[in-house]
Structure 1
Amino acid sequence: MAGGWSRDGAVQEQIDSTIEDALERARSELPRGESLKYCEECDEAIPQARREAVPGVRLCINCQSERDKHRSAVSGYNRRGSKDSQLR
């Protein structure tokens, strides 16, 4: 059920497109290719189990954890339109 000026299903389309964008972004960040034996950042050995579990891995666990902490969080804001803009 849509309200106001939007047509039926418009809200669900926005939700679906936001999820599709998030999936595309996550898939694009997956490592590819052959795993490195030594970390790109600190030159520590990357354990064989990690290289097998994450094909294309380039960082050791410690460096990957640090990188993940410093990454900017994705806001989840739907750039196709916000509820505020629809109410005006």
Structure 2
Amino acid sequence: MAGGWAKDGAVQDQIDSTVEDGINEARRHLERQGPSLAICEACEAPIPLARQQAVPGVRLCIECQAEADRHQRQHSNYNRRASKDSQLR
């Protein structure tokens, strides 16, 4: 039973949300299957043949992939458990 500001079931909601995030991340990686693209789907720049061969299912040029990775790191550093611990006690 949760106390304080947290509603009943808050811990399970937190667990469910974390599992859902993990499933969505795995699905994003599955989309990389298949043939590599010759043109970046974000900026339409050509993707070098060496990159197409090195990364199966590549969809983005190096610059766009670096930006996507930077964006992913910013959002993946969020510690859901630590941020809600004070609410769950």
Query: What TM bracket, shorter-length normalisation?
Result: 0.5 to 0.7
**TM-score when scaled to structure 2?**
0.53
- Residue in structure 1 matched with residue 75 of structure 2 by the alignment: 73
Unaligned ranges ≥5, structure 1: 6-13
Q: Give 2:9's aligned residue.
A: none
Stretches (4+) displaced over 4 A: 20-23
- Give the whole-Å Cα distance in 2 for the aligned partners of 1:86 and 1:41: 41
Number of paired residues?
72
1:41 Cα offset (Å): 2.4
Structure of higher CA gyration radius = 1
**RMSD of the alignment, in Å?**
3.2
Aligned match of 2:64: 63
Identity among equivalent pairs (%): 39
Shift of 1:58: 1.0
Q: Which has the higher contact order (CA 8 A, sep 6+)?
A: 2
TM-score calculated relative to the size of structure 1: 0.53
Structure with bigger helix share is 2
